[in-house]
Amino acid sequence: MEKIRLEIAGMSYSQSQSGAYALILGEAGGKRRLPIIIGGFEAQAIAIELEQMKPSRPLTHDLFRNFAEHYDINIQEVIINKFQEGVFYALLICEKDGETSEIDSRTSDAIALALRFACPIYTYERIMEAAGIMVEEEEDILPDDEPEGLEPEPAAGNDLHGVTDEELLDLLQAAVENEDYEKASLIRDEINRRKEMRSGN
């Protein structure tokens, strides 16, 4: 069965489910998108890796990666292999000592691990047909000029408008050190917005 390569197109706060986020996977080289609703914890785990934030202590997915690497286990790829009653299922394709095995996983956890192992994410045509959506423009899914990663509720950004650039950098560092990654993502978004405004985009 031919696999379809997926890439992370973005992530935003879910307007339909409180405390949840919409992770958008895009077909590599195509216009189809696969939206997946995930929890806040998993959204943070994905966002901090996308934004290359370094937590002071290993988070759960970092611990899993460290454990696997210690015992020479490598995740070769992630496959979203089933879509049933609105729920996505995934497999971790693992290799150790030349032998390959499959491990069942929640899709959100599998994607968080795929980022940490720098391995590809795939699905099948039947799943894209059942759950994918076609978009003509990227703006149909994500707001204009938004950076990839975790996007908090829109109203929350207003609290940072009066803060100087230097203070934003200090707040960002403090948020990362305190492992408040949702706040760190909010501050990172504000920094990026200001850069885009200055560049005229």
What region does 36 belong to: left with phi over 0, alpha with psi -120 to 50, or beta?
A: beta
pLDDT tens digits, one per residue of 102-117: 999 999 999 999 999 9
Q: Domains of the chain by range and CATH?
A: 3-140 (3.10.690.10), 154-199 (no CATH)
Q: Rounded to whole angstroms, how far apart are CA atoms 149 and 178?
A: 19
Count the alpha carbons within 13 Å of 78 in the hemisphere toward its beta carbon. Answer: 25
pLDDT tens digits, one per residue of 118-155: 999 999 999 999 898 887 654 444 433 333 444 444 43
